[in-house]
Amino acid sequence: MAEQLRSFWVATAAAVLLVGCSVPQVYPTVRERNISLQPGDLEAHGIAFITPSAATGQEEEKQAIALVFAETLKEQRKNVRVLALAQTLGAINQAGLADAYRSMYAYHRETGLFRADVLEQIAKATQMRYMAQIQVQGFGQHAKERFGVFGLRIVETKSAAVRLFFQVWDSRDGTVAWEATEEVHYSYDTVTEEQLTLPQVVGRAAEDLIAKLP
C-alpha cells in the first residue's frame, strides 16, 4: 500500500510539473554597429558565408553554426541571394583559392583583418559582394536539479549561454560594413536527459542578429 501511494504521488507530481516544463526562458543582449551597409545592398549584391571562428573548443561545430545562420537569413530575407558555407568553400576550391583562403585566416587570427585582395578573389568566385563571418566567443552548458520526490529526480533546469560576434565584410574595399555582438542565456525545465546544444542556442541568436541587418 505504501509503495502504491508513493508511486501515485510521484506520478501526480510529475504530471503537474510537466505542464510548466516546456516553455524556455531566453534573455538576449544585442549590440550592433552599421558602418556602410545600406537598405537594399544585400538584395542587390548577395552575401556568402565564410568559415566561422571558434575560440571555445567548439571547432567541430563551425559548419553547423554557419548553416544555421545561412538558413535563418534565407528564411527571414527571401529576396537576398545567400551562399551557404559549403557552397562558398566549393567555389573557393574550384577557383584554386584554397591556399590563399587558409593564409587569409592565419592573417585574421593575428590581426583581426581579412585581406582585401583575397576577399576580392572570393567575391569573384562566388559572385557575391558581401561576406558574412561568425565568431563564437563563448559557450557554456549547465544542468541543475529543481525538484524531486522521495529521492527521485523529477525536473532539471537545463541552461546554456553563448556569445557571438557577427560581421559583414564588403569585398569591394576590404572593410567591415556591419557588425553586431549578442549574448544569449537560454534555459528551460525538463524531465529528459537531453542537453541544450550549441546549434540550438545559436539558432536563437541568429534570429535576433539577422533581424538587425539593414
Express each pLDDT in 84-104 by its tens digit: 999 999 999 999 999 999 999
The pTM score is: 0.80
CA distance 182 to 34: 15
98 located within any domain: yes
Orientation of helix 98-111 relative to helix 116-126, angle to 10°: 140
18 located within any domain: no
CA distance 171 to 107: 16
Listed in sequence order, the residues at least 6 apart from 40 whose beta carbon sits closer than 8 Å to its beta carbon are none
Is there a contact between 132 and 47 (Cβ–Cβ < 8 Å)? Answer: yes
10 located within any domain: no
- The predicted pLDDT at position 77 comes to 97
Domain span including residue 107: 23-211
207 located within any domain: yes
66 located within any domain: yes
Categorize the per-residue pLDDT at 12 as very low, low, confident or very high, splitting at 50, 70 and 90: very low
- The predicted pLDDT at position 199 comes to 77
12 located within any domain: no
- Tally the domains of the chain: 1
Express each pLDDT in 177-197 by its tens digit: 999 999 987 766 555 556 667
1 located within any domain: no
Question: Mean pLDDT across the stretch 110-137?
Answer: 96
13 located within any domain: no
Q: What is the CATH number of the domain that holds 151?
A: 3.40.50.10610
* Gap between the terminal Cα atoms of the chain: 66
